[in-house]
A and B are shown apart, each in its own frame.
Chain A
């Protein structure tokens, strides 16, 4: 079950997350990226100051915002009943190692569907200059019962 009143609720900004070069490499290996993705010279030849993150890396930052919601007693989300339904990342610019990021999550919708709840979270990710760099949109299905 999910409290439908959290629709529209905006949660506080997360503490800053420093994107580490070795973390990017570790994540890239875990998602079976090609060797070039771990190569600093290759990234620089493409005009980037450092390694570019794999496209799904912002899930790590989204997770920090999601943890705030899951621990919010008002939201009443039972994590053991949660299944990942949909995920999307929209980039304003590439995120690279060395970026320091914070995120802010808004509950964009809470829907009820055949005994289950579907909750959509929009997590906006900002750089140190407070510019939006990426929006991570996640829909979780909370099974009823």
Chain B
């Protein structure tokens, strides 16, 4: 378990890449119950004006916090987690879309021994989540 006293503002505590394929989207659809067809049907995605089949925003949000969970060793220490969805992630029928997650220490709260970690989540060099912030109890 990470120690509060050893953390420094700006420190990168985790970095991980996540390759997304259509299989990942189907798996998430089943697990979450979100069967919106834009997440697996090319024809429907195109018909509503999208560039292609998109990853569920909640899948991106869900995996982006996992490097923090692994670092903590216990998802029960996550107190608060919020994101803005700023850019869609297009997942090709063949091949994959690779998301890169970098988690940095942004705020340290001495009194409560809590930290805010900011996530930079990028796909093809642009960020796909805004204000992705996780408060954790150490």
Contact yes or no, A56 B33, CB < 8 A? no
Q: Is A128 located at the chain interface by the 8 A CB criterion?
A: no
CB distance from B108 to the nearest CB of A (A): 20
Query: Would A30 and B83 be within 8 Å (CB), given that A54-B75, A59-B32, A84-B57 are in contact?
Result: no
Contact yes or no, A31 B62, CB < 8 A? yes
Q: Is A137 located at the chain interface by the 8 A CB criterion?
A: yes
Binds B, one of A1-9, A68-76, A89-97, A98-106: A89-97
Q: How far is the CA of A27 from the CA of B75 in the complex (A)?
A: 14
Query: Would A94 and B80 be within 8 Å (CB), given that A27-B32, A30-B62, A31-B62 are in contact?
Result: no
Q: Output the nearest chain A residue to B70 by Cβ-Cβ distance.
A: A34
B75-95 to A contact mask, C-beta < 8 Å, 1/0: 110111111110000000000
Contact yes or no, B58 A30, CB < 8 A? no
Contact yes or no, A48 B31, CB < 8 A? no
Q: Is A16 located at the chain interface by the 8 A CB criterion?
A: no
Q: Is B123 located at the chain interface by the 8 A CB criterion?
A: no
Interface size on A, residues (CB 8 A): 34
Contact yes or no, A55 B69, CB < 8 A? yes
Which residues of A sit under 8 angstroms from B59, Cβ to Cβ? 30-31
Query: Would A63 and B74 be within 8 Å (CB), given that A54-B62, A54-B69 are in contact?
Result: no
Which residues of A sit under 8 angstroms from B83, Cβ to Cβ? 86-88
Contact yes or no, B75 A32, CB < 8 A? no
Q: Is B10 located at the chain interface by the 8 A CB criterion?
A: no
Q: How far is the CA of A133 from the CA of B99 in the complex (A)?
A: 31
B27-63 to A contact mask, C-beta < 8 Å, 1/0: 1101111100000000000001000000001110111
Q: Is B115 located at the chain interface by the 8 A CB criterion?
A: no
Which residues of A sit under 8 angstroms from B82, Cβ to Cβ? 86-89, 137
Q: Can you list 24 A-B pairs with a CB-CB distance of less than 8 A?
A: A23-B31, A26-B31, A30-B30, A30-B59, A31-B59, A32-B63, A33-B75, A37-B69, A52-B74, A52-B75, A54-B75, A55-B62, A55-B65, A55-B134, A59-B58, A80-B48, A83-B85, A84-B58, A87-B82, A88-B83, A89-B82, A91-B78, A94-B75, A96-B76
Mark B residues whose CB is within 8 Å of A. 18, 24, 27-28, 30-34, 48, 57-59, 61-63, 65-66, 69-70, 73-76, 78-85, 134
